[in-house]
Amino acid sequence: MSSRIVIQTRTFGVLRWVVIAVLIIATVFPFYYMLELSFVPMQDLLLHPDRLWVPIQNLTFATYQNVLASTSSGGQGFAGFMVNSGIVAIATVVVTLAVAIPASYAVARLKFFGQRQISTLFLVVYLFPVIIIAIPLFVGFSALGIRESLVGLTIVYIAQTIPVSVHMLRSYLKTLPVSIEEAAMMDGASRLRILRQITIPLAMPTIVSTGLYVFMIAWNEFLFALLFLTADRNLWTVSLGLSQLSNGIEVSKTVLMAGSVLLTVPIIVLYGFAERALTEGLTSGADKG
């Protein structure tokens, strides 16, 4: 019996590392190949399309220079696209969290009529397909004159992300002990002071993870960017610019790969810097209660 257990333990130990290796390859290899192609000259790609390792001396930054340069300089204008995406994404995160933090606290802590229904409504609204509201927003924003603008696009993203942000933060705030706030109230602290000095610091990991999630949605979103900004290239976001490049016959695959890297890397960098806070935010709800 003991030998059988030893064999099973060793077998599952080997299988675990095999599964981990397969998952790493499946996850990392596509990004590695995309990154490699973005640095490979087009002539080398045509000569060796299946090569997985390129000598360092053959690598070039010319593709990124072309992608980032403005259209007036003969480039693709991705530097401007990234600025537009950054403005929209950062504005969306700031406004969404400014609304979602007090809203989630009110739903989690305050007692009022319809509290459960309103709490559920935030999640239900997020579950509706966005295509349902695309046409009404297109018509309404056109009437208001803000359709072809980053302001209109930001408003759409804020409306999309507030419900799920409230739901995520509310779920965590409910795990925080009420006794901490009651003790602060006995010392004369107001609700606003409790929220600012106690609740927000305790919920900061979840706030960070929610902010990263909102940023990712606003940075990668494509449908509303396509509906609102197609007519004005100067307002294009990165995802819209990459999509328009992929439709061009004259655009090389190395340029598309460089654009894909520019779309992906900011998210990876942000997650890398906030990895600890993000991990704590996703798991802290299970540690409390």
pLDDT tens figures, 39-92: 887 777 767 767 777 777 777 888 888 888 888 887 888 899 999 999 999 999
pLDDT at 127: 72
Q: Averaged over 237-245, what is the pLDDT?
A: 87
Plot region of 96 (φ>0 → left; ψ -120 to 50 → alpha; else → beta): alpha
Q: Which two tokens stand for residue 275?
A: 């990895």
pLDDT range class, residue 2, cuts 50, 70, 90? low
Identify whether the C-beta of residue 77 lies closer than 8 Å to the C-beta of residue 71.
yes
Kindly tell me if the per-residue pLDDT of 287 is higher than 50: no
pLDDT surpasses 80 at 119: no
For residues 205 and 280, is the Cβ–Cβ distance under 8 A?
yes
Q: Is the pLDDT of residue 215 over 90?
A: yes
Residue-by-residue DSSP string for the chain: -HHHHHHHHHHHHHHHHHHHHHHHHHHHHHHHHHHHHHHS-HHHHHH-TT-S---GGG--SHHHHHHHS-GGGTS--HHHHHHHHHHHHHHHHHHHHHHHHHHHHHHHH---TTHHHHHHHHHHHHHS-THHHHHHHHHHHHHHT-TTSHHHHHHHHHHHHHHHHHHHHHHHHTTS-HHHHHHHHHTT--HHHHIIIIIHHHHHHHHHHHHHHHHHHHHH--HHHHHHHTT-GGG--HHHHHHHHHT-TTS-HHHHHHHHHHHHHHHHHHHHHTHHHHHHHHHHHHH--
Number of helices followed by number of strands (H, E) in the chain: 14, 0
| Segments making up each domain of the chain, as ranges | 2-60, 78-287
Lowest mean pLDDT among 114-123, 218-227, 231-240, 256-265: 114-123
Residue matched to tokens 């809203």: 103
Residue 94 has pLDDT above 80, yes or no: yes
Residue 50 host element (H or E): none
pLDDT at 268 over 80: yes
Look at 9-23, 49-63, 226-240 and tell me which has the smallest mean pLDDT. Answer: 49-63
Mutual orientation of helices 78-109 and 238-246 as an angle, nearest 10°? Answer: 130
Model confidence at 173, pLDDT cuts 50, 70, 90, reads: confident
Q: Structurally, what CATH architecture does the domain formed by 78-287 represent?
A: Orthogonal Bundle (1.10)
Q: What percent of the chain has pLDDT above 90? A: 16
Residue 1, pLDDT > 80, answer: no
Contact status, residue 41 vs residue 62, Cβ threshold 8 Å: yes
